[in-house]
Amino acid sequence: FNSLNHDMTLPEFKFIWYMEYSHRMWGRAVGLAYILPAAYFWRRGCLSRPLKGRVLALCGLVCFQGLLGWYMVKSGLEEKPDSYDIPRVSQYRLAAHLGSALVLYSASLWTGLSLLLPRHKLPETKQLLRLRQYAHGTTALIFLTALSGAFVAGLDAGLVYNSFPKMGERWIPDDLLAFTPVLRNVFENPTTVQFDHRIL
């Protein structure tokens, strides 16, 4: 708090506290919205064997998401070895938290649509098969773009260059590969992280 928000007023602190509190309460409500109906329909024998597997996986993902959120917040409370480092959550854990939420949402949507329109009722044409292939590729790109956005947020990389389409005066910034080994730049260099997010 002293390192980053020493000038924060009480109303500003209350706002950010209520935002975080609401997020946690919403997460718990989502967990109950999955687990309670699942337990009810399971007990009533309304779930087929394949659907039971999906329901267990979804409930497991909900619990995993909550644990991952706690693990992410914990990283922001740990002392950093570098004295110049300001407190922030790990960009890796932030991306994992977002990624697991997207997987949970996608799996829930897929399960719901599969129940409404089973696959054996769908027409199999060349056009639809080609569209499905494109959809898989597009989905992967969207997922990757969202995860790269989490790295931008976790590193405050959006503050490094705020001009578009160029980054400063250049199309490719000089500090794009400033870290060693080179692979570190993809995940830890704010310039590279922002550049990758723009490209995606």
Annotated domain spans of the chain:
1-78+89-121, 123-200
- According to the model, what pLDDT value does residue 164 have? 86
Amino acid at 177: L
Residue pair 99/147 in contact (Cβ under 8 Å)? The answer is yes
φ/ψ region of 170 (left if φ > 0, alpha if ψ in -120 to 50, else beta) reads: beta
Dist CA 165 CA 83 (whole Å): 34
- According to the model, what pLDDT value does residue 133 have? 84
Q: Which residues of the chain have pLDDT under 70?
A: 1-5, 79-87
Question: What does each C-alpha distance from 55 to 40, 61, 79 come to in angstroms?
Answer: 12, 10, 39
Dist CA 163 CA 95 (whole Å): 24
Dist CA 76 CA 80 (whole Å): 9
- According to the model, what pLDDT value does residue 83 have? 43
Residue pair 189/179 in contact (Cβ under 8 Å)? The answer is yes
Q: Rounded to 10 degrees, what is the CA torsion of 79, 81, 83, 88?
A: -50
86 closest CA partner among 173, 1, 177, 195: 1
